Amino acid sequence: MHLRIYLIGFMGSGKTTAGKRLARALDYAFTDLDSMIEERYHVTIPSLFEKYDEHAFRTLEHETLKDTLTLPRHVIATGGGTPCFFNNMELINGSGISVYLRLSPASLHQRLLNSKKKRPLIQRHPPAEVLDYIKRTLDERDPYYLRAHHIVKGEDLDIGALCRLLDKKEAT
Ligand code: S3P
């Protein structure tokens, strides 16, 4: 089996939930990149965006991603923007197996409306404009996400099927 599995995808794609389930199924540890940033710098993500700016957040995100590159037997849920800045996607693909949880803008919108997590990039848009923001940003980000080793449909994700997919990759 691979040492590290990175879950990537848009905000609300279920990376954290799927990551925890996948880690349990594989008997791996689970790490959430946003939580690592918050612990490492003693600051919440919303206050990072508020007190500084997105650029500052991306720098700390990049530095923290580097800390994950040698973690043994880990499933790592990245932030929605992680693959799209610096050489992050190269680092991810060079150090582990990446899985893109791909969902339609409508599904992402629905999930984000129901989510309790505070997301500064969503909150800065009036509710009526969130779907447009998702469509526009997903178009920009897809070229990065599509560089993942595996692309799976994020709606009704089957963790057992994902485990088998990851196993098969190892055998080839
Ligand atoms: C972001 C996604 C968030 C978090 C930050 C920025 C993004 O993580 O890293 O608010 O740029 O898409 P989730 O994808 O876990 O919401």
CB 154 within 8 A of CB 13: yes
The pLDDT of residue 171 is: 41
Ligand 1 neighbours (beta carbon < 6 A): 11, 15, 34, 45, 79-81, 117, 119-121
| CA–CA distance, 16 with 110 (Å, rounded to integer) | 17
For residue 33 the two structure tokens come to 């990149």
The pLDDT of residue 169 is: 56
Please give the model's pTM, rounded to 2 decimal places: 0.96
Q: Residue with the nearest Cα to atom 2 of ligand 1?
A: 80
Ligand 1: distance of its center to the CA of 172 in Å? 33
The pLDDT of residue 1 is: 58
Q: Residue with the nearest Cα to atom 9 of ligand 1?
A: 79
Ligand 1: distance of its center to the CA of 4 in Å? 20
Exposure string of 110-149, with b = 16+ CB inside 10 Å and e = fewer, is: ebbeeeeeebebbeeeeeeebbebbeebbeebeebbebbb
Ligand 1: distance of its center to the CA of 79 in Å? 4
The pLDDT of residue 168 is: 73
- Mean pLDDT, consecutive 10-residue stretches, the chain (172 aa), reads 90 98 96 98 95 95 98 97 98 97 98 95 95 98 98 97 83 41
Alpha-carbon distance values, 103 to 89, 90, 162 (Å)? 19, 22, 16
The pLDDT of residue 172 is: 41
